[in-house]
Structure formats: structure tokens, C-alpha cells
């Protein structure tokens, strides 16, 4: 494919950044050699003030590193490619792309399967002190996730990894949220289960000095009772668990953050709907047990090869469900991102669908509706819970 020089890289970088799929970029093969400059590398980093693009100029004997605001970083890299470099290799968890700029100025793009399948951890590595400190937290020991030495208990390393990644992701989103109201934040976790991630949520907010009331809603009363006991023993005064279902919960008039991790099947839709109705700034879900669309799917002829394999048809139903949910969030004025929450080896339920309320911009609603309509028609869908709750069922 041959295309105009600046846009493809600019667009691909922006898209990867927005979707939190950006892993790294290298600009190489300079057009005119600046003495000693070999290449430019870029990757995302999490700093105290929010996420930045870390740009490193690699000379033969030294490196110069700059941390730029996302938009500045993206533009700098795209401009630099357009004027000084002939090759750019972009790695994202959605796919890898090689851009080549010819002397005529034309750019060719080659796509390949992603070499990295998990969203990059923005802190340094497994020995990261923040992760270690979290593993040592008494709440994780009390809930049976870690030992007194901060090591995962047997069978709990996946849960520990989820808690660590969740706290990191939440930290970035909270840092990027510059218009927090000057009052106690209201935060809800739907389908809280044993409360591992609800405690982690309350802990992350406390760590940032944020005043917040956190409520975990859970259908199983025995789990609620045990989680409230743990909250009391551990001194989590602003955390409580209530027994009941998402739809029946007597929610406050407004919610600031809505979380629903591994809420089964359409419970994720009920939770998203509640968050939308209550005007939540952040919606964080990790959908699982997608059962609603699978029996409805009529595969278009081009996908006959998929429909013949049960597991592939199931995956197709999951993809469709989450794509529809993401579009419905976009339609309601949110920027929606779908990314891998933890590495697949830690949990098969590893997608996160996050929504951040937009203050401005966004695509025209009719364009979003049209895309929903085409998906709906292509697979002969009849009903999807979030679409139904929002009154957005295509006709």
C-alpha cells in the first residue's frame, strides 16, 4: 500500500496511544546522518503527573531521553519520520507495522501479527517496587492472595497479577483525570466477589490521597458478610459491601467511577448502563462469560469457516459483544478502549473495556450508529443487553 507520508504513522500512533496498545516505536535509516545519531526509540512511561511518551535519541556513544506529553510526542515522532528517517517500526498489541518512506516522499506500510500480546507494563519490571509493595499489603494477605512474605499463595498468582495491573491502570486513569470534583468521590465495584479488586481500588485511592467512598455490590450475601468483616478488621473505613444485584442496587444519584471486573455475562452490561446513567467519569470493566450473542449468531457466508468451529464461534461472539459495548460507550460520549488487562498466561479473562467520559470531540453519532447497524445486520443479531437498556437496538 502506498500512502501520504505523515498521516499513516501519525494516525497509527495516535490510535495505539488512545487504545493503550502502544508498545514501542523505532525510527531508523536516517535520510541525512546527524553525526553519530543512529536511531530514535519511543515507548510509553507512567510518571507522577500522568502518562508520557519517552523518546530516546541513540547516538553511538550516548543517549538523550525526553519525556513528552502524548500529543507532543506523537507529533514529534511523525514529523521526524516525515523529514529525517526512512523507516519506522511500530509495535502495538494489536499489530506491528513497518513504514517505509521512499525518496519520492511516498510511504508504504506493511502490517504483521503483533510480537507483543499484552499491554506494556509502564513501570519497569517484575521487581518493580510498587508491585512488590502491593504484594506486601496486609489486605492481600488477609484475603488469602499473598503470604506474609508477599509471595502469591498457591493458585493466586493470576489474581495477584490482576490486582497489580488493575492498580497500575487505575493509577494512570486517575492521573489523567484533571477535573476531579472537590468532594468525596463515589465509586462502585459491581459483582465484587470476594472483594480482591474492591480492596485494591480503595487502597489505590487512599495511596493517592483521594477521599472516596467505595461500595462493592455482590449478589452472594455470604461473600458480602466476609468482605465487610475484612474491611472492618483492616481499617478500610470508607469501603463497604452490600448484598444484591446490580439492577436492584439503590445507587447514589451520581457515581464517579464504575468498576465491574469479570461480572458474568450481561451483568457487565447492567453495570455499564448504571455507570452511564449515573454519569461516571471512568468505566472499567473486564467482561467475561459472554453468553448472550452466541446462540443468535448467523455467520455471513464469508465467515463460514469460523462458524464450523465451536471455540472460534464463541470467540467471535465475544469480540462482537465487546465491540458493540465499546461503540455504545462511544455513542454516549465516552472514549472507549479495549486492551489486554493482564498477560494471557495469568488469566484467559484478560480483556479490559475502559470508558473515559469525553469533555469534547468524538465522532458523529450517526457514523457510530451506522457501524453498529452493519455489525448487527451482518450477524443477524436480535438482542444485546446494553443496546436494549440504552434504547439503541437497530431496526
List the one residue from 43, 206, 262, 315 that touches ligand SAM (CB under 6 A): 262
CB of 153 to ligand SAM, least distance (A): 15
Instruction: Report the nearest approach of ligand SAM to the CB of residue 246 (Å).
Output: 4
Told to check if 217 binds ligand SAM by CB under 6 A, we report yes
Residue whose C-beta lies closest to ligand SAM: 193
If binding means CB under 6 A, how many residues of this protein chain bind ligand SAM? 17
Closest CB 158 distance from ligand SAM, rounded Å: 10
CA distances from 358 to 96, 153, 335, 373, 392 (A): 28, 40, 6, 23, 20
Is residue 275 part of the contact set for ligand SAM (CB under 6 A)? no
229-248 positions binding ligand SAM, by CB under 6 A: 245-246
Answer yes or no whether residue 263 interacts with ligand SAM by CB under 6 A.
yes
**Does 196 sit near ligand SAM (CB under 6 A)?**
yes
| Least distance to ligand SAM, CB of residue 335, Å | 23
Residues 55/74, Cβ–Cβ less than 8 Å: no
Measured distance between the N- and C-terminal CA atoms of the chain, rounded to whole angstroms: 37
**At 269, is the secondary structure helix, strand, or coil?**
helix
Q: Please spell the DSSP secondary structure of 304-354, one letter per residue.
A: HHHHTSHHHHHHHHHHHHHHHHHHHHHHTTEEEEEEESS-TTT-S--EEEE
Give all strands of the β-sheet with 37-47 in edge-to-edge order.
2-3, 107-112, 96-101, 85-92, 22-30, 37-47, 50-59, 63-68
Among 171, 191, 275, 355, binds ligand SAM (CB under 6 A): 191
Stretch that binds ligand SAM, among 4-12, 134-142, 214-222, 353-361 (CB under 6 A): 214-222
Q: Is there binding between residue 264 and ligand SAM (CB under 6 A)?
A: yes
Residues 6+ apart with CB under 8 A from 34: 84
Give the C-alpha separation, 59 to 68, whole Å: 19
The nearer residue to ligand SAM, 240 or 262, going by C-beta atoms, is 262
CB of 89 to ligand SAM, least distance (A): 36
List residues binding ligand SAM (CB under 6 A).
191-193, 196-197, 217-220, 245-246, 261-264, 267, 270
Amino acid at each position: 500500500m502506498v500512502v501520504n507520508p505523515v498521516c499513516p504513522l501519525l494516525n497509527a500512533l495516535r490510535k495505539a496511544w488512545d487504545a493503550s496498545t502502544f508498545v514501542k516505536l523505532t525510527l531508523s535509516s536516517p535520510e541525512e546522518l546527524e553525526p553519530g545519531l543512529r536511531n530514535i526509540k519511543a515507548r510509553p512511561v507512567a510518571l507522577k503527573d500522568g502518562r508520557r511518551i519517552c523518546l530516546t535519541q541513540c547516538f553511538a556513544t550516548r543517549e538523550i531521553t525526553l519525556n513528552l506529553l502524548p500529543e507532543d510526542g506523537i507529533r514529534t515522532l511523525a514529523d521526524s519520520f516525515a523529514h529525517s528517517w526512512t523507516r519506522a517500526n511500530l509495535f502495538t498489541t494489536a499489530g506491528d507495522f513497518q513504514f517505509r518512506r521512499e525518496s519520492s516522499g511516498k510511504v508504504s506500510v506493511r502490517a504483521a501479527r503483533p510480537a507483543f500480546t499484552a499491554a506494556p507494563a509502564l513501570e519497569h519490571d517484575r521487581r518493580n517496587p510498587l508491585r512488590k509493595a502491593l504484594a506486601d499489603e496486609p489486605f492481600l494477605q488477609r484475603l488469602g492472595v499473598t503470604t506474609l512474605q508477599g509471595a502469591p499463595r498457591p493458585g493466586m498468582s493470576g489474581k495477584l497479577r490482576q490486582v497489580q495491573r488493575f492498580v497500575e491502570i487505575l493509577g494512570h486513569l486517575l492521573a489523567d483525570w484533571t477535573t476531579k470534583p472537590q468532594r468525596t468521590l463515589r465509586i462502585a465495584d459491581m459483582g465484587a466477589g470476594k472483594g480482591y479488586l474492591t480492596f485494591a481500588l480503595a487502597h489505590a485511592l487512599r495511596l493517592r490521597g483521594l477521599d472516596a467512598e467505595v461500595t462493592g455490590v455482590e449478589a452472594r450475601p455470604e461473600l458480602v458478610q466476609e468482605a465487610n468483616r475484612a474491611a472492618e478488621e483492616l481499617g478500610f473505613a470508607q469501603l463497604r459491601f452490600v448484598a444484591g444485584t446490580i439492577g436492584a442496587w439503590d445507587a447514589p444519584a451520581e457515581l464517579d467511577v464504575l468498576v465491574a471486573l469479570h461480572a458474568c455475562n450481561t451483568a457487565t452490561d447492567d453495570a455499564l448502563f448504571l455507570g452511564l446513567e449515573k454519569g461516571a467519569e471512568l468505566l472499567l470493566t473486564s467482561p467475561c462469560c459472554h453468553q448472550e450473542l452466541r446462540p443468535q449468531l448467523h455467520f455471513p457466508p464469508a465467515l463460514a469457516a469460523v462458524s464450523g468451529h465451536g471455540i472460534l464461534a464463541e470467540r467471535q461472539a465475544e469480540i462482537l459483544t465487546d465491540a458493540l459495548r465499546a461503540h455504545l460507550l462511544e455513542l454516549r460520549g465516552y472514549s472507549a478502549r479495549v486492551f489486554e488487562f493482564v498477560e494471557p498466561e495469568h488469566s484467559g479473562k484478560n480483556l479490559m473495556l475502559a470508558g473515559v467520559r469525553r469533555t469534547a470531540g468524538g465522532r458523529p453519532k450517526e457514523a457510530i450508529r451506522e457501524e453498529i447497524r452493519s455489525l448487527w445486520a451482518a450477524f443477524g443479531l436480535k438482542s444485546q443487553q446494553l443496546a436494549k437498556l440504552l434504547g439503541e437496538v437497530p431496526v
